[in-house]
């Protein structure tokens, strides 16, 4: 695909290049931003931030991407990664911080603390739980903490900017998933799972993670790891789940026991 903005950029006419670039990609940029927030002020602020960052240091980001340009590569994938990262950056370090401050201030004390640890400081659930107990004197089980986290997650990810806030934290496990009540068991479970999957090549291990844990569609997983079709994803996932089941059964761990 011809990227008409690259030639003027390389020929020393960056403003012309920018006009061509933004004319061509503004829909994509706005579309990506609107995925995260539909608040008009926020959309325009983030758009301004994205433009600023792409123009920073004499268009260095665009120049770097142009240097790797390959007409068969979908340029939009790179742009989407950039816009996503800049949108999160805007939320955490720029105009969006105010929104986070307002959100936090409206929460009851315990939830506010959880929000700070999990969403603002981006700590793991277990780390946040341990800090709440040691630093803040909270006396509750890990299961009760997860319940609080589930309610908090639901509250702060509602509304027009909900998807944006959701990007800051790993979603809490569903209550139906019956997560263990003791974080130490989770660590043990992780070690056992790693051992169970160790016999699989790294590509297959990652495919299983992307599909089962991260919920990425099988077509996309197949493309990323280089499988010929989605069937290969299903085959590998099936094999991996069988290994996991066998290994955990040997260790005497079932979901209900955790």
Partner 1 sequence: MTCPAPESLVPQALGTSDAATTAHVESCPTCQAEVARLREAAGLLRGPASLESLRETAACLDELALADFVDGRLTSEAREAAVAHLLTCARCRAVVRATVRLRSEAAVARDVPDRRWRRWSVPVGLAAAAAVLLVIRPWGVLETGGLREPPLTSAAAPVPIAPRAVVAEVGRLIWSSVPKADLYRVRVYDGDGTVVWRLETADTTAALPAAVPLSPQYPYFWRVEAQVESNRWAASDLVEFRLAGPRR
Interface of this chain with partner 1, residues 86 to 115, rule: CB under 8 A: 92-95, 97-98, 100-101, 104-105
Stretch that binds partner 1, among 3-11, 151-159, 241-249 (CB under 8 A): 241-249
Q: CA 165 to CA 153: how far, in whole Å?
A: 9
Q: Would you count residue 152 as binding partner 1 (CB under 8 A)?
A: no
**Alpha carbon distances (Å) from 205 to 233, 242, 255:** 11, 13, 21
Q: Rounded to an integer, what distance in angstroms lies between the CA atom of residue 56 and that of residue 75?
A: 19
Q: Which helix (H) or strand (E) holds 216?
A: none
Query: Is 137 one of the binding residues for partner 1 (CB under 8 A)?
Result: no
Task: Considering only residues 47 through 66, tell me which ones interact with partner 1, judged by CB under 8 A.
Answer: 47-49, 51-52, 55, 64-65
Q: Which stretch binds partner 1 (CB under 8 A): 3-11, 151-159, 207-215?
A: 207-215
Task: Give the residue, chosen from 12, 71, 202, 252, that forms a contact with partner 1 under the rule CB under 8 A.
Answer: 202
The two structure tokens encoding residue 87: 């949108």
Other beta carbons less than 10 A from residue 89's beta carbon: 15
Q: Report whether 31 contacts 40 (CB < 8 A).
A: no
Q: Which of 6, 17, 20, 146 binds partner 1 (CB under 8 A)?
A: 146
Smallest gap from Cβ 41 to partner 1, in A, equals: 6
Tokens 């800051």, residue?
A: 168
**Residue whose CB is less far from partner 1, 156 or 248:** 248
């Amino acid at each position: 695909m011809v990227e008409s903005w690259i030639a003027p950029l390389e020929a020393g006419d960056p403003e012309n290049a920018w006009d061509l670039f933004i004319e061509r990609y503004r829909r994509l940029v706005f579309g990506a931003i609107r995925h995260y927030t539909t608040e008009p002020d926020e959309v325009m602020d983030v758009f301004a931030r994205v433009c600023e960052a792409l123009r920073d240091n004499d268009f260095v980001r665009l120049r770097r991407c142009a240097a790797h340009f390959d007409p068969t590569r979908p340029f939009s994938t790179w742009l989407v990664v950039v816009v996503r990262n800049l949108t999160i950056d805007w939320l955490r370090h720029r105009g969006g911080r105010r929104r986070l401050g307002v959100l936090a201030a409206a929460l009851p004390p315990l939830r506010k603390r959880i929000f700070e640890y999990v969403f603002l400081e981006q700590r793991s659930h277990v780390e946040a739980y341990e800090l709440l107990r040691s630093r803040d004197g909270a006396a509750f089980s890990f299961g009760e903490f997860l319940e609080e986290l589930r309610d908090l997650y639901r509250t702060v990810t509602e509304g027009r900017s909900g998807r944006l806030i959701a990007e800051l934290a790993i979603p809490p496990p569903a209550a139906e998933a019956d997560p263990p009540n003791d974080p130490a068991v989770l660590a043990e479970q992780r070690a056992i799972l790693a051992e169970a999957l160790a016999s699989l090549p790294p590509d297959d291990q990652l495919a299983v993670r992307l599909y089962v844990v991260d919920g990425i569609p099988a077509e996309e997983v197949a493309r990323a790891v280089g499988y010929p079709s989605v069937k290969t994803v299903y085959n590998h996932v099936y094999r991996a789940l069988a290994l996991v089941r066998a290994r955990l059964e040997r260790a005497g761990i079932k979901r209900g026991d955790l």
